[in-house]
Structure 1
Amino acid sequence: MKIRTQFLLGYLFVCAIIVVGGVFSAYSMRVVNEAGENAALRNTPQLYALMESKQHLIAAHLELEQSFLQTDNTEMRKLMWSHLDGAELDVKLLLEGGSHGDWNVEGMQDAAIRSEVETLADHLRALRQLTAQRIDQEDNAGLRQEYHVRYTQTMDHLEMLEKSIQQELFAEVNTFRKFHKFGLSFIVGATLLSLALAVLVGLLSARRIAGAIRRVSGRLQDVAAGEGDLTIRLEASDRDELGELAANFNIFAEKIRDIILRIKDMSDNLAVTSEQMASTSENFSNNAQDQAATFEEMTVTAEEVSAGMESVAENTDDQFNTVQGLQDRITELSAVTDKMAGRIRTATGAINEILADARTSQERLQSMVTSMENIQASSAEMNGAVQIINEISDKINLLSLNASIESARAGEAGRGFAVVAEEISRLADQTAGSIREIDDRIKMNDAEIQKGMQETRAVHASMEKVIGGIDSITAVTGDMDRFLSDQLESNDRVKSSMTLLQGKTGLIRTSTREHRDAMSEISRSLSNVNNIAQSVASGAQEIAATSHALSKLAESLKKNVGYFKV
């Protein structure tokens, strides 16, 4: 029989006792309450009828006194007779019973009280006869004197009767209170008896659990001495909760073994991927350095072109001021323009080569970002596996704590199981420590990968800017080449049309100044491109260093996982 079944049977037994006691107590309280309600329903209407009779009698007395003070007292004496009739009717209701408004009045059952009510009825009849006799004789003085005596006797008897009914009601209420106290005492006694039985059942169950724990403690010692050996299993032949504990431990060990195997495979893949990324980073670094050298050469060429444009501007100014030597200066200008066009075409070819290299570098950067994202995804999977191990380790600690508590309850007999529980807790702590170290290294790996991805994305964005700048330079040099061709044709036309020389010279001077400013801007742009290329080369070297560090972390992870025997 399972432990929880034993506790359930004991609990049901105690609950049965409590239910029986509660039913008996509820029945007793119900009987008491019904008796109290019946007494209240019986006596309250009787008191109400008696008090109403008293009010009628007082009202009749007041009407009679008022009639003595007035000459025409017919109406007041009618009211007096009405009140006397009401008082007699209420007393008759007390004797015979019946309905009165919302109340259902029962006739008096007690012989003594009924005798007093009959005496009260006699007093009321005598008072009525006396009043009728004196009114017929028109003897107001005698009526007033004798009526007062009869009225006082009737009121005294009525108050005495009211006290008797109240005393009977109070006696019944005291009886009901005694029954109520007895019911409460019975409930308290039944509750204490139930608690005592619950304690007895708990002690017997704890004694049986302690014996079962001693039988299982020997089996757990083999697992505690394994030192990372996940192939050890516990015997789970018992059918109680302790057998379930051994079976759950075997399942836990099997899951830990599967997770460690997966971590080993992941660490191998991480090592291979980090080596590939290191090789890619080195190639990218070499390409970036070559590109930086090419940009430096292009900057020198742009400076030479800018210097040539400055010379053209000076020649144009001289030509504008000295029209006499126009022919010779135009010849020199044609030569310089032709030379500049050749250099621009050379620069355009170099820029196209740089643009092709930049696009190739951009594609390699994108490939590197993809590889790093794959590595980051693998690290996220490893984080999930580590989280599962942590949860399992926490469950082992909780099971160990429960076992320690049960062994402490068992006393001296559970000391051996407490040692086993402590060894299990220490093994779980060692596992949690190793997992935390693995988790820290994975987080460090993720941080380095994230840093490398940020730097790679920055380099990728810089390369996009470089490509955009190179496209702009290519467009400008193409425009310059076309413009210089047009300028050569213009020089030929100027040679044949000297009459238009003055106007043409002004246009040439303006265009030459614009070209000079454009070449200065090109020179500055190429200088910025050169700086960016240097930054790209430096970033590529840092990525290569990060890849090597990642490879070392993968080897360290592989070494730590090798602690477990699977």
Structure 2
Amino acid sequence: MCRKGARIPIIAQLSAMFGFVLVLFLALLGYVLYHFDSVGNMAGSLIQHTSARALLLKDAHTDFTRALLSMRGFLFYPDGAAVYEQSYREEIQKSLEIVRDYNATSTMADTKAAGDKLEKLISDYVILGDQVIAAKKANDPNLSQYTGQGRQLVANIDEQFLQINKLQGAYLSGKSESLIDHSKARVRLAALLSIGIFALVIVLVYLYSRNVSKRFGNLSRELAEVGKLDLTGRDVFPTRNDEIGDMGTVIIEMRRALKTFVQQIQTTGQMLASSGEELNATVDEHLKAVQTVAGSIETIAAGVGQNADNIGSISAALQQASAGAQQISATAGAVNSQTYDAVHEADTGMNLLGAVVGQNEQIAAAMQEITNVTSLLASGSEDIKGIVGVINDIAGQTNLLALNAAIEAARAGEAGRGFAVVAEEVRKLAEQSAGATQDIAEIIGRMGGEIASAVTTVDKANTEVDKGKLAAADTQKGFELIIATLGTVKNGIEQIAVAIEETAKGTQSMVASVQNISAIAEETSGNASTVAATVEEQSASMHEISSNAESLAKLATELNSIVRQFKI
């Protein structure tokens, strides 16, 4: 399959063509924009320089006229002579400076010469104006002569302003006409280029459309030939790698596939015709074989009936054995469950006994602490008794000292009365201390008896706790032996239960197998009858197949006649 060049899709071809046209139009647009920009620059230059200079010259003429008015005011209005003089000098100076700026920016020879002349005339008028002002101030008789010269000079200056304005107008008119002619020429060129580009676009579109139409015409002719069942056309591969070329390739491949398909149908039709004859002969042989099979199946059915009776007896015996094994397995499971419960209860008792042993240990430790505390209390009570004795002795001595102090106070008379009161209070306090000490001694005595009784009781409790610890330890060892024995019994029962369960499963499997065999035997017996009937049906089907084979041969002949309509 031949393809020339790289693949260029139709969208790429159209994009390239319209892109080329777009580039041309953009180039034309750029040229037009450049032309208008150039014209705009020329017009801007004309406005900024020529027109601006014309306005500048007009301002100079206006300032000169104002200076003349100020000069007349100076001459004819003495009251404001100073103001008019100042205004004249400012206006005439402004006019002269504007003319000088105009001359400095002049580029044309004639306007340059006219500007220089105007500058000289205004300068002469400035000199003459100074003379007129001086003559006016001095009442010089030559004032009339100066004013006459001034009028002549003013006329010359006005004439010169008019001449320069004419030169500026002529220059501006010439530049404007040149700019207009230049714009018209560029517009005509742009119009010609637009017409040329438009004509080029029309030619490109025509050529491309003609080529596409021709290629689609070729595709249409090839499809028409295929529609007329004419597959003998020559394969003309497309020369362009695009979508139309793909369509041409698909048509070529379709024609080739149709040609191959028709050839295969022709070959198959011939094979069907020959196979139909062979099928008739084969069907006759199958009819004979089917009759032989029918006789054999009747003999097999009789033997299968006897086997089914024997298998039924075996199945009943195995079912009884399976029921016994299942009952034994259930009993072993119950014993195993009871043994497991006994082991669990023994474990629970063992745990509780361990808790009792731990509590006994805690009780023994607590009793020991109580013993220590009671011993300390007994010792402390003895110490308190000694302290109480000391306090009692101190109270007695204090009482004696208070008595002596009272005696000494009585001897002192009035001066010792206050001391006697204090001695009396001390004596009372000593008596109270002695009484309190006696009460404490009695309480300590009672506490000592109670502490002694508590010590005796705690000693007895310690003895009983030691006996309880020994009994709990012996009980714990007995529980450990019981748990070990029950564990051994449990393992043995579990092994027995597993063996019985496997036996029950094996028996059930045997029962199921025997039942399957019995069912198969019964099914075989039934199927033998079915097969016999099927053989008869097959015999009838063979006759029908023979008839269909003849019809198939006729269809193959008709198919060959249809296929011959294709030209390959």
Larger CA Rg, structure 1 vs 2: 2
Shorter-normalised TM range? 0.3 to 0.5
